[in-house]
Homo-oligomer: A and B are copies of this chain.
Amino acid sequence: MSVYAGAVQDLIDELGRLPGIGPKSAQRIAFHLLKVPREDALRLARAISEAKEKVSFCERCFNIAEGTLCGICTDERRDPHVVCVVEESRDIVAVERTREFRGRYHVLQGAISPIEGIGPDQLKVKELLARLEPEGITEVILCTNPNIEGEATAMYLGRLLQPLGISVTRIASGLPVGGDLEYADELTLGRALEGRRSFES
């Protein structure tokens, strides 16, 4: 329903194209932007343009970067021989938060999804293979999401990398810490059982 005048409807339409923003939210945000002081709204417009201008992707790992290499790839304290493969740049944030990983990353920029027509060629897989030798990578941790697409991607990469003599691991699936057996779904509990380890005291 476009009952609004041109510029307002244009704004609602553009906002509605963002992920997770439905028509109602788009309308709400548009009216919010029309109501706030001019400089506040323009600051958002500017932040978008500037991010598009300054930010691109790391030439090595395809993380977001202001420059040719990202902050992690330029950090010399990181171990260059271990690479954690993730689907998106935002997954790096999640892994970094654990403070458990001190190697480098490789961002696939997606996951294999036959339904959406995304195969290995649409992902940064070739680019990962090209890094192995020059960087002396000895271990690859497959850190894609534990869902159908992520598992398929991990499976594909595992089969591709293992014959090359690289140590390939997959992050564990199981009950979340602080979780409750009673509320765990069967799949997760099944994975937790499957992935059981010998008890260490």
Contact = CB atoms under 8 A, between A and B. Distances in A.
Interface class of chain A by DSSP: helix
Copy tally for this chain in the complex stands at 2
Nearest to A72: B3
A66 B10 CA distance: 13
Interface residues of A, number: 55
Contacts of A6: 54, 66
A84 to B, nearest CB: 15
Interface in A102-122: 109
Contacts of A20: 25, 28-29
Contacts of A4: 64, 93
A32 B10 CA distance: 19
Given A7-B47, A14-B47, A35-B109, 5 more contacts: A1-B97, A5-B64, A33-B51, A41-B49, A45-B49
25 contacts: A1-B97, A4-B64, A4-B93, A5-B71, A6-B66, A7-B50, A7-B54, A7-B55, A8-B51, A8-B55, A10-B47, A10-B50, A13-B47, A15-B47, A20-B28, A27-B90, A28-B90, A31-B89, A34-B51, A38-B52, A41-B49, A44-B48, A45-B45, A45-B52, A48-B48
